[in-house]
């Protein structure tokens, strides 16, 4: 009887409380509500394409942003107000996948150096062609999310940037 009671309690937790807990703590991709800009615009590859909601990694499909071959190219998302950022997903382009290597994710409220001086969440070592990798930012605060490649000339291409964060009121 006790075992049945215990099992029942356990199942109640699994089927009732667990989904409730998940729905309360679920983080939304807030990137789609933001505004994107970038150092320069490669013809037709607008900054917005990195937050259009599609992870499509083939450049020809028109869902990847790209800069020209800039020195220190950057892409920036403005969330409109400060958020607590938990994790960021970045989808790499299928073609020329090594262009993303060494890119830094920076988060903060400053626009100094176009936001590229904000605290660093992560350095992207590499992302497989067309794949999506997750970077943990552990609740860093910021209105601006930058992806910047420092110290070399490069085309910065992002096929999707998802930002899972909570608004700070």
Binding site for Ca ion (CB under 5 A): 52, 54, 63, 160
Please, which residue, 63 or 146, has the CB nearer to Ca ion?
A: 63
Please, which residue, 36 or 137, has the CB nearer to Ca ion?
A: 36
Residues making up the chain, counted from first to last: 169
Q: In angstroms, what is the minimal distance from the CB of 57 to Ca ion?
A: 9
Q: In angstroms, what is the minimal distance from the CB of 124 to Ca ion?
A: 17
Nearest to 64 by CA among 34, 87, 96, 86: 96
Unique residue bearing structure tokens 């028109």: 62
Please, which residue, 13 or 33, has the CB nearer to Ca ion?
A: 33
DSSP, residue by residue, 54-104: -----GGGS--EEEEEEES-EEEEEEEEEEEEEEEEEEPPSSSGGGGTT-E
Please, which residue, 61 or 113, has the CB nearer to Ca ion?
A: 61
Q: In angstroms, what is the minimal distance from the CB of 33 to Ca ion?
A: 15
Q: Nearest-CB residue to Ca ion?
A: 63
Contact criterion met (CB below 8 Å) for 155 and 86: no
Q: In angstroms, what is the minimal distance from the CB of 120 to Ca ion?
A: 24
């Amino acid at each position: 009887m006790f075992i049945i009671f215990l099992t029942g309690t356990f199942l109640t937790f699994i089927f009732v409380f667990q989904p409730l807990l998940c729905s309360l703590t679920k983080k939304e991709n807030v990137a789609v509500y933001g505004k994107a800009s970038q150092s320069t615009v490669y013809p037709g590859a607008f900054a917005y394409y990195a937050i259009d909601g599609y992870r499509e990694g083939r450049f020809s499909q028109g869902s990847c942003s790209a800069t020209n071959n800039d020195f220190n190219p950057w892409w920036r998302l403005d969330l409109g107000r400060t958020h607590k950022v938990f994790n960021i997903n970045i989808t790499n382009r299928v073609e020329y996948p090594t262009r993303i290597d060494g890119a830094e994710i920076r988060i903060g409220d400053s626009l100094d150096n176009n936001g590229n001086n904000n605290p660093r969440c992560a350095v992207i070592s590499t992302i497989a062609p067309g794949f999506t990798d997750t970077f943990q930012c552990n609740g860093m605060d910021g209105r601006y999310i930058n992806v910047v490649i420092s110290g070399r000339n490069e085309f910065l291409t992002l096929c999707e940037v998802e930002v899972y964060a909570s608004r700070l009121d």
